[in-house]
Every structure is written in C-alpha cells, then in structure tokens.
Amino acid sequence: MMYAVLCYNDEQMVLGWTREQDDAVMNALSMVHDKWEKAGKLKPSIRLLPTSAATTLHKSKDLVIDGPYAETKEALLGFYIIDVDNLEEGLQFARELGKANPGGAYELRPINLYLPGAPIDGAYENERQYAPPKEAAK
C-alpha cells in the first residue's frame, strides 16, 4: 500500500531552531530514513521551504496570492512517499519519525495515483547534506 506521509508542525518553531538543533533533528531522522530506504519501503522524501516562500493561485479568478493556501498554525512542511504492507507498518514508520522529531503530526494519506514523472536532473542532490556518507552507513 502506498501512502503519502504528510508532515505538519509549528513552522514558526521549526524555523526558530538553531542550525545545531536543525542538524540534530535531521541527523536523527536520517537514521530512520536510512533504515526504511534499505528495506525498500521509503520512496522520495521532500522537505519544503518556509510557507513565506510560497505563492498560491486561486483558480477561479486567476488570483495570485503571496503565501500558502492555508494559513495554519501547523503547516505542511514536507512529505514522504512510502510503500508499506499495511497501515500498521505505515504508522510504525511515522512513530519512528516522531521520536526523532517531536511536535506536530503526521497524516498518512493513501495514494490513488503515482506517476514518477521525468527524472530529477541532480540539482537537488547536494541537498542531501544531512544523510550520512554511504561508506559510513555500511
């Protein structure tokens, strides 16, 4: 079963983390990522830039608005695509993430259609700055 695991948290607080705190959370998360990736169950992971960098198009009037669609205390900050045996396993993944990164909530949303699209050109490969080196992971 494929799920999108949507990550909601208090954005203001996450942005308030120091670089060290952020690195610590990302490092703890990368352990979980690594484990599930090796098991073949973790597909793409995406961390979004702050909602202040977002732009929203309201379709009916072609109205372009600065900011996210929903101004909420807990914002959508990123998401994972996972392929797990059942909901229980998906929840287990979310629980492990939650231990590494407290606060907020994970929404597990079953996927209806998955189109992988064109391959990514590598521009974002440098962004894997938090992942442990492959050698070290072995």
Partner 1 sequence: MTDLAWIDAALVSARPQAVAALLRYFRDLDTAEEAYQEACLRALKNWAANGPPRDPASWLIMVGRNAALDGVRKRSKQVAMPAEDQISDLDDAETPMAERLDDSQYRDDVLRLLFICCHPELPATQQIALALRIVSGLTVKQIARAFLVGESAMEQRITRAKAKVAGADVPFETPGAVERSERLGAVMAMIYLVFNEGYSAGPNDPRGDLADEAIRLGRLLLRMFSNEPEVMGLLALMLLQHSRAPARFGASGEAVLLEDQDRRLWRGALIQEGLALIDKAMRHRQTGQYLVQAAIAALHARAARFEETDWAGIDALYATLERLTPSPVVTLNRAVAVSRLHGPQAALDMIDPLADKLSGYFHFHGARGGLLLQLGRAKEARVAFDKAISLANTAAEAAHIRMHIDRLIAQSEQAAAPQLPAR
Q: How far is the CB of 81 from partner 1 (least distance, A)?
A: 20
Q: Does 27 bind partner 1 (CB under 8 A)?
A: no
DSSP reduced 3-state for 74: strand
Give the residue among 8, 4, 123 at the shortest CA–CA distance from 68.
8
Residues 53-82 touching partner 1, rule: CB under 8 A, are: 53, 55, 64-67, 71, 73
Q: Which two tokens stand for residue 48?
A: 């979004």
DSSP reduced 3-state for 46: strand
Which residues would be at the binding site for partner 1 (CB under 8 A)? Answer: 10, 12-13, 15-19, 21, 24-25, 49-53, 55, 64-67, 71, 73, 102-103, 124, 126-127, 129
